[in-house]
Amino acid sequence: MQENAVNIGAGRFKHVELGDIQVTTVTDGVRNFPLPDGFILNATREEINAALTGAALPADEMTIPFNPVVVTTGSHRVLIDAGNGAQAALAPGATNGLLMASLAAASIDPSSIDVVIISHFHGDHVMGLVAPEGGSAFPRAKIVVPAPEWNFWMDDSEMARAQAGRMAQLFQANRRVFGVVGQQVSQYSWGEEILPGITAVGTPGHTIGHTSFVIASGSQRMFVQSDLTNNPALFMPNPGWHAAFDQDAIQAEATRRSALDMLAEQKMLVQGFHFPFPSRGYIEKRGAGYRLIPSD
């Protein structure tokens, strides 16, 4: 397994060779913000800060990286998740919205991406489907989405029942995004080999149709876990913590525990959207929880 990394200007990327497949982390930047009340529903601020400082991170502050990947096979160039999109204004210290700069740094022309695979319909994964001028950011690509995710967010009755605030805003944002790129969209099912070497794995809880992926070439495999654990400093050692942004926190916990058990047992390389760049490593069982062993 061979790797290399380059930083050019604001763009940042890193390749790893997985058999005959190349997987490239292309950062979309990071977002820093004060730890909000209620960020984790069943943990106190003191417990959260203890986990942060135990991971050599500052207390009372959250740092969320955004790291899509490009998968280059013999016949396809695939982007898994599209990032935040161009940001009109950024919070102090934030850099999210760097996907296009990172693609340029990696000498990847967006027009060379022929498939975009979406894991779920949160803004940091789908807003980048729309270009700053309002059209499709990947006009030559087929966009494939999880069937249960599409069915939920495009259901008018579900939108009518959505609570005011975050859920209602997500419905509205998803309708805007897919109003632009909907003609490019088709759906995939869990368990389906979407493309040769890329198989969809249902990992619901974070959202109704949240999906992870196994990338395989020969004997080598990588698990692209999307938002299964979000911030690893918090949710690896504490898999029972319930994040406020999980649609079904009970199901998210059960999914997380099952997947992490499997990954630790199989010693499979893991790619996490919100892991620190280059956003991959191995899972190790540790007491009642787990830990991420980063892989450069």
- pLDDT tens-digit readout, 20-33: 999 999 999 998 99
- pLDDT tens-digit readout, 86-95: 865 566 666 7
pLDDT value, residue 253: 97
Q: Where do the domains of the chain lie, and which CATH numbers do they carry?
A: 3-294 (3.60.15.10)
Neighbours of 110 (CB within 10 A): 19
**Per-residue buried b or exposed e for 216-243, using 16+ beta carbons within 10 Å of the residue's own CB:** bbeebbbbbbbbbbbbbbbbbbbbebbb
CA dist list (Å): 146 to 103, 175, 241, 256:
24, 16, 26, 19
pLDDT confidence bin for 10, thresholds 50/70/90 = low
pLDDT confidence bin for 1, thresholds 50/70/90 = very low
Mean pLDDT confidence for 123-133: 95
**pTM (2 decimals)?**
0.95
- pLDDT tens-digit readout, 210-257: 999 999 999 999 999 999 998 999 999 999 999 999 999 999 999 999
Amino acid at 12: R
- Mean pLDDT of the chain, nearest integer: 93
Coil, helix or strand at residue 138: coil
Residues 6+ apart with CB under 8 A from 168: 159, 162
- pLDDT tens-digit readout, 204-215: 999 999 999 999
Residues 6+ apart with CB under 8 A from 185: 143, 144, 145, 150, 178
